[in-house]
Structure 1
Amino acid sequence: MEQLKGTGVALVTPFKEDGSLDLSALRAIVNHCIDGGIDYLVAMGTTAESVTLTADEKDSAIQAILEANAGRLPVVLGVGGNNTQQIVTELRSRDLTSFAALLSVSPYYNRPTQEGIYQHFKAISEASPIPIILYNVPGRTGSNMLPVTTLRLANDFENIVAIKEACGNLIQIMEIIEKRPKGFLVLSGDDINTLPTLLAGGEGVISVIGQGLPAEFTQMVRLGLAGDVKAAYNQHYALQEGMQLIFEEGNPAGIKALFELLELSKAFVRLPLVEASANLKIKIKSFVTSLTKIPA
């Protein structure tokens, strides 16, 4: 799965002031990411506020992404949730021919056992006609998919080809890297841990800040994959404050504030999320100004 290596970005869903989709802004963001040199796009991840979108809105946003991309980069589709049968039904009914892979988050709120997580992804694997990227993000789901479960899934199902690992525990990440079957990719799910994951043997990232600062972040990833440790860490530290700031008041409020600064979209989010505070916007502007020399 060479096309899933490097920098993927989990796209936001821009909104207008009245709460409706801003598809023009979404297309502009897709072009911004491609022009910045990223490797693939991820539609309808958690950063897209997908849980607050109607089915029709999801379809409209996906179509806008595909149209703006125009076949230039691979596109991964987020299809996940805590109702296994509902996901299976969607996979059997949706046309997936435009997508390189699925990104599917470990079930949230239900807090299943490790066996429950395994059976959930087993059912998804059996229903999916395209490759699957597992997504472990305990801070959102309330449960941690342990390495033993990740490795069991990786060994048992050929179409489970990667994990986006956002556990925040480098020991856990390194255990997966050490014991994984050949060809199984480990992708960072945390911007701040991207470089350590790459230097430990991981293959890439699905990033948030990478869509706002694609050229700068992708450069760090490529340096890391090339083993140029000093240059990669110089780039990491140049970006580190921004990686922290965009999550200071939750995701995607921070990255949407960055997009507003870049005049690509407005900072609006949907309840129960709220827009980034004026203070955070000032801090993000200060960071971006120092990084890219945008006039203050």
Structure 2
Amino acid sequence: MNKFHGTGVALVTPFNADGTVDYDGLNRLINHLIDGKVEYLVSLGTTGEASTLNKEEKKKIWEFTAEVNNGRLPLVAGIGGNDTTEVINSIKIFETNGYDAILSASPYYNKPTQEGIYQHYKAISESSQLPVLLYNVPGRTASNVSPETTCRLAADCKNIIGTKEASGSFDQFNQIMRDKPADFLLISGDDPVAMPMISLGAVGVISVIGNALPKQLSDMIRLSLKGDYTAALPKHLDLIEFTRMMFAEGNPAGVKAALKQLGVCDDYVRLPLVGVSDGLRKAITAETTRITA
């Protein structure tokens, strides 16, 4: 599965002032990322504000993204939720044309046991025509997919090919790397720790900041994957302040402010999210200008 090595970007969903989807902005974003030499795209992950999009909007965004991409990069669709039956139904009706995998976040709010998480993903695996990437993000779901559950799924479900790990726990990363099947992919779900995770054996990142800075981030990730940490480290350190700003008042408000500065799309978000404060916007503008100068 080398197509998922390197930099994947979780696309934002651009909106117009009236709250409708800005397809011109999405077109510019996709081409901005392809021009920035990222390795693959993720449509309607958390950063895409999928939780505030209805079924018809999601369907149109997936179709539009595949059309604009036109086979240039691998595509991943974010399809998750806390109702297993509904997730399975969504996967069954998903038009797979142009897509290479599904990324599915662990169930949120319900706080299932590890056995419940295992059975949830096993059912998804059995229903999906496409390979599946797990997504562990305890800060959003209020439950952790343990290393034992991750590796059990990796061993038992052959079309579960990897995990986007956003637990922030290096103890967890270590256990997954030690116990997983050799071909199972560990992917960083957090921009700030992508480089150190690669040093442990992760194969790359699914990024937020890559929306705005695809070339700067993907250059650093490729150097890290080559083992050239001497060259990668300065690039990693140069992105630290920008990355901090992206999450200071929530995702994707921060990265949308940077994208507006770059002229890619506007920075509208859907409630309950709101845009960044004026002070943070000025700081993001200055840092974006510095890095892209």
Q: Is 2:130 aligned against 1:130?
A: yes
The structural deviation recorded for 1:3 is 0.5
Q: Is 2:76 aligned against 1:76?
A: yes
Question: Which residue number in structure 2 is paired with residue 143 of structure 1?
Answer: 143
The structural deviation recorded for 1:156 is 0.4
Contact preservation (8 Å) 2:102, 2:130? yes
Q: Is 2:235 aligned against 1:256?
A: no
Q: How does 1:147-162 map to 2 (within 5 A)?
A: 147-162=147-162
- Report the 3-state secondary structure (helix = DSSP H, G, I; strand = E; otherwise coil) of the residue aligned with 2:73: coil
Question: Which residue number in structure 1 is paired with residue 101 of structure 2?
Answer: 101
What is the CA–CA distance in structure 2 between the aligned matches of 1:279 and 1:14, rounded to whole Å? Answer: 22
- Report the 3-state secondary structure (helix = DSSP H, G, I; strand = E; otherwise coil) of the residue aligned with 2:104: strand
Deviations 1:248-296 (A, max 9, x none): 0010000100111101111100000001111111111121122122xxx
The structural deviation recorded for 1:89 is 1.2
Q: How does 1:173-252 map to 2 (within 5 A)?
A: 173-252=173-252
- Report the 3-state secondary structure (helix = DSSP H, G, I; strand = E; otherwise coil) of the residue aligned with 1:29: helix
What is the CA–CA distance in structure 2 between the aligned matches of 1:109 and 1:20, rounded to whole Å? Answer: 28
Gaps of 5+ in 2: none
Contact preservation (8 Å) 2:66, 2:99? no
What is the CA–CA distance in structure 1 between the aligned matches of 2:66 and 2:277, rounded to whole Å? Answer: 32
Deviations 1:40-75 (A, max 9, x none): 000010111001001111112112211211110010
What is the CA–CA distance in structure 2 between the aligned matches of 1:228 and 1:171, rounded to whole Å? Answer: 24
CA-based RMSD of the aligned residues comes to 0.8
What is the CA–CA distance in structure 2 between the aligned matches of 1:47 and 1:245, rounded to whole Å? Answer: 15
What is the CA–CA distance in structure 2 between the aligned matches of 1:288 and 1:93, rounded to whole Å? Answer: 40
Superposition TM-score, scaled by structure 1 size: 0.98
Question: Which residue number in structure 1 is paired with residue 292 of structure 2?
Answer: 292
Q: Is 2:54 aligned against 1:54?
A: yes
Q: In the comparison of the two structures, how many residue pairs are matched? A: 293
The structural deviation recorded for 1:32 is 0.1
Deviations 1:148-206 (A, max 9, x none): 00000000010000000000111211211121101000000000010001111110110
Deviations 1:65-122 (A, max 9, x none): 1121111001000010000000111222222132110000000000000000000001
Gaps of 5+ in 1: none
Question: Which residue number in structure 1 is paired with residue 63 of structure 2?
Answer: 63
Contact preservation (8 Å) 2:70, 2:98? no
Contact preservation (8 Å) 1:43, 1:78? yes
Question: Which residue number in structure 2 is paired with residue 266 of structure 1?
Answer: 266
What is the CA–CA distance in structure 1 between the aligned matches of 2:84 and 2:158, rounded to whole Å? Answer: 20
Contact preservation (8 Å) 2:253, 2:276? yes
What is the CA–CA distance in structure 2 between the aligned matches of 1:63 and 1:157, rounded to whole Å? Answer: 28
One-letter code aligned to 2:147: P
One-letter code aligned to 2:20: S
- Report the 3-state secondary structure (helix = DSSP H, G, I; strand = E; otherwise coil) of the residue aligned with 1:63: helix
Contact preservation (8 Å) 2:211, 2:259? no
What is the CA–CA distance in structure 1 between the aligned matches of 2:44 and 2:94, rounded to whole Å? Answer: 14
Question: Which residue number in structure 2 is paired with residue 169 of structure 1?
Answer: 169
The structural deviation recorded for 1:211 is 1.6
Deviations 1:202-252 (A, max 9, x none): 101100001210000000100100000111111000111111110100100
What is the CA–CA distance in structure 1 between the aligned matches of 2:175 and 2:213, rounded to whole Å? Answer: 30
Question: Which residue number in structure 1 is paired with residue 41 of structure 2?
Answer: 41
Q: Is 2:4 aligned against 1:9?
A: no
What is the CA–CA distance in structure 2 between the aligned matches of 1:103 and 1:276, rounded to whole Å? Answer: 28
Contact preservation (8 Å) 1:259, 1:265? yes
- Report the 3-state secondary structure (helix = DSSP H, G, I; strand = E; otherwise coil) of the residue aligned with 2:123: helix
- Report the 3-state secondary structure (helix = DSSP H, G, I; strand = E; otherwise coil) of the residue aligned with 1:276: coil
Q: Percent identity?
A: 48
